[in-house]
Structures are given as structure tokens and as C-alpha cells.
Amino acid sequence: MRPFRIEIPQADLDDLRDRLARTRWPDELPDVGWDRGVPLAYLKELAEYWRTEYDWRAAEAKLNQYPQFITEIDGANVHFLHVRSPEPDALPLLVTHGWPGSVAEFLDVIEPLTNPRAFGGRPEDAFHLVIPSIPGYGFSRPLPSTGWDVPRIAGAWAELMDRLGYQRYAAQGGDAGSVISLVLGAMQPERVVGIHVNMLMTFPSGDPAELADLAEDEQSRLGLLAKFNDDLSGYMKVQATRPQTIAYALTDSPVGQLAWIVERFREWTDSAKVPEDAVDRDHMLTIASIYWLTATAGSSAQFYYEGAEGVRQAASGAPPPPIPAPIGVAVFPRDIFQPLRRFAERDYSTIRRWTEFDRGGHFAAMEQPELLVDDVRAFFQPLR
């Protein structure tokens, strides 16, 4: 394990600003809003802010205040934050991001989770945090080979925790981090004491009787799956089928990379008009900057290609592997995926906590960090 600090060369930041200044902008049809993609006026203003006001060095310093390391696992460089709690009996917690996320999405929850005493919490609710970058994402680069699917990543996480000396630990994640955490729990039943997720995908099994008595809110949630497939999953279909092709555009154009990410923040968050209604602008630009400065648009997209078959199997109603560890589910109302509890409990018999919030969306650690922290603490209290 090698200590690591983020130190982006100034030449890379100058190149980013130069490219932003020379953007070749497309035309736009009148009065279409967000219906056909990110509006031109909005993106122009955001890109200019990125070029002239956003401070990467401040974000870099904020990340560098936490211990970071890189280790090679199964041929891949794995970058991770390892933040020990001042409480000696803290529970180790492995936290995994998704796409388009990074370790930076957890900046607002690191200190409340590791040092609850300083945030009005109980010292016995403290965690030692391990927050890795998925291979091919951010500073876990380059992606060395094909085959980095969810089970392989989960296996790498098990090896990482073993190297850190954590024989008993918990897991948490949203988006891809949810799936990785659940698979890790199935792979390591003797070590994973519990799994908390803030995204859970549930699908009908194919039995018509299962759909006969759905309540109105359940029908609405099920309808979101159809909306996602018909209208909101273009990014996924491109990345799951032609990740290399889209990589050229996103790696060469910072505005292209920005639009690709910002659209997700607009569609998946508790935002009224623009993503900044739900997520701090600078925090969102830190996420976009990490993808741009590490040139990992293409390598992160490979995750969708590797996982395409698993998604198809899940959507067909195939049951997931059994998970002995207790599971806690936090449901935020503006997440793009709204799980049906009856389907979730059909698939996961060890669900012990189910929390429905009245605000927040897909990026819970960025949108509603206090709600997420409180739910994580409450779920793991009886499992320590």
C-alpha cells in the first residue's frame, strides 16, 4: 500500500480552462427546456463558472485532508480513503460510490460518521471508513483488463479489507455501490455484519398474480421502471454497448463530459429546475472535474458493459443470491429507482430496516447527508 495525494499538474488545469474557452457550441431548438437534453444557456453559464470561478485546488485540498492510499489488487490499481475514527471501538465501514460518482460524493458524511461525538451523536456509533474508487474510476486507473464486473470488484473489496486487517466489517453503498455491497455480503457472510443501501432495484418476477393487488403508489413506482427504460436510460445503453466510442467524445471535450454528468444530477435528484436545487454547484463540479482530470470517462463506462448481462438477468426476475447479513434500505423519493418493498422482501429475506424519506434523491450523501448519516447509524447500532 502506497500513500497517495491528489496533485493535479497546473498544466492540466490550464488545459481545461483553455478547452472550455474554445468550446464549439451546438445550435438549440427553441423552447425545448430539458426535454431533449441539457439546455444550451444553462450549460454555457455552468461551463463559464467552471472555467473562471470554480476552485479545483480548494477541492483537492479538502480531499487531501483525509489519508489516501493506492494498492494493486488483481492487477488493478485501487485508490481509497482510509479514515480512522478517534473512537477505538469503531466499526469498520466500507463505502462504495457508483456512476457518475466518486469518493468525493462522501465529503459531507466522513466526519459525522467517523467522529459522531463532535456532531451531536453517540461515540459508540462511530465508524472507521474505507472509501475506495471503483477500478476505472477516478484515481483507480488505468483499468488493466476486461472482466471487471460486480463480483470481481466485490472480491477486490474483500481483499482490500483483509489487507487493512478488518476481519469483521459493514458495507454501505448507493447506485453501483449498492449492488457491489450486496454481492460482497453474499461472498463474505462470515465477515460482513450488515449492509446498508440507499438504492435498491426491484423487478417483477414474471408471475401475473404478483401484480394483481398493487397499491397506487406501488404501481407508480413500477411505472418509473418503464419511464427509465423508455426515456432516461440512453446513457446506460450507450455505455453498456459502446463504451469505447463515447469515450472519445467525453475524453476530448470537457463540456461534453460536463453535460453527460450534469444531466444525471438533474434527472436523479430532488431538484425543481436545475441540479443546483439539490446539490451544491462546486460539489457537483468536483465530481465532473475528477472524471475529466483523470480521463476516466471511458474506463468508468466499461462497468456498464461488464454488467449488462447481470442487469438483463435481474430485469427478467431472476432472484439474487441469498445474503445472510442484515440489510437496511433507505429510500429517497426522487431517486430514479423506487423499490417496491414487497419485491425487495421477496428477494432479500434479511431486510431489517426500511426507511422512507420525504426528500432527497439518488446522490443521498450529497443531497441529504444528515438523513443518510442518521439512518446508517441507526441501522448498525444493534449489529456492532
| Residues composing the chain | 384
79 flagged as catalytic: no
Identify how many contiguous H helices and E strands the chain contains and give both numbers. Answer: 15, 9
Please enumerate in sequence order all residues whose Cβ is within 8 A of that of 344, keeping only pairs 6 or more positions apart, or say none.
200, 202, 329, 351, 354
108 flagged as catalytic: no
Say which of 79, 97, 128, 362 is annotated catalytic.
362
Classify 353 as helix, strand or coil. Answer: strand
- Name the nearest CA neighbour of 62 among 373, 265, 287: 287
Say which of 137, 235, 304, 348 is annotated catalytic.
304
162 flagged as catalytic: no
Euclidean distance between CA atoms 234 and 288, whole angstroms: 19
Strands 76-83, 91-96: pairing kind: unpaired
Q: Do the beta carbons of residue 150 and residue 310 sit within 8 Å? A: yes
Euclidean distance between CA atoms 322 and 330, whole angstroms: 20
At 37, list the grid cell. Answer: 437534453
C-alpha atoms less than 13 angstroms from C-alpha of 233 in its C-beta half-sphere:
14
For Cα atoms 279, 285, 289, give the angle at the middle one, nearest 5 degrees. Answer: 145
- Name the nearest CA neighbour of 132 among 182, 71, 186: 71
Say which of 175, 270, 335, 375 is annotated catalytic.
175
Strands 91-96, 127-132: pairing kind: parallel
Write the DSSP string, 33-72: TTTTSS-HHHHHHHHHHHHHT--HHHHHHHHHTS-EEEEE
Mutual angle of helices 10-21 and 281-294, in 10-degree steps: 110
At 245, list the grid cell. Answer: 466510442
Distances (CA, A) of 335 to 190, 201, 218, 264, 265: 32, 11, 15, 11, 10
C-alpha atoms less than 13 angstroms from C-alpha of 51 in its C-beta half-sphere:
17
Euclidean distance between CA atoms 198 and 171, whole angstroms: 12
Position of cell 474510476? Answer: 137
Active site residues: 175, 304, 362
